[in-house]
Amino acid sequence: MSTQHAAEQGPAVDASSVAADQLKAFIERIERLEEEKAGLASDIKDVYAEAKGTGFDVVALRKIVSLRRKDHAERQEEEAILEMYMQALGMV
């Protein structure tokens, strides 16, 4: 068999099986992370339920958590827009 004939036959490893193995690995990683995410969401729900059981307002807690994710400038801009809209609607 000549070198040219061997090259025409293609690589010894099937590219589709390599891609399938890689795809399967990605899918399995995503599935594991989704399971972890569901577990964390359940834990967060439990913490909110515990806070509610001790008398805290869960809506306020969720708002505070949301606000703490934002930097100061972003919060100020959001509050200014909210204030402007409330004034336009005669709510303040």
* Average pLDDT over all residues of the chain: 90
Number of CB atoms found within 10 A of residue 25's CB: 10
Q: Average pLDDT in the 23-41 region?
A: 98
> The tokens of 45 are what?
């729900």
Question: Is pLDDT of 4 > 90?
Answer: no
Q: What is the mean pLDDT of residues 41-65?
A: 98
* DSSP type of residue 89: T
Structural contact between residues 62 and 48, judged by C-beta atoms closer than 8 angstroms: yes
Q: Across residues 51-66, what is the average pLDDT? A: 97
Domain ranges of the chain: 15-56, 57-92
Read off the pLDDT band of 16 (50, 70, 90): confident
Confidence category of residue 18, pLDDT binned at 50, 70, 90: confident
- Residue 56, Ramachandran bin (φ over 0: left; ψ between -120 and 50: alpha; else beta): beta
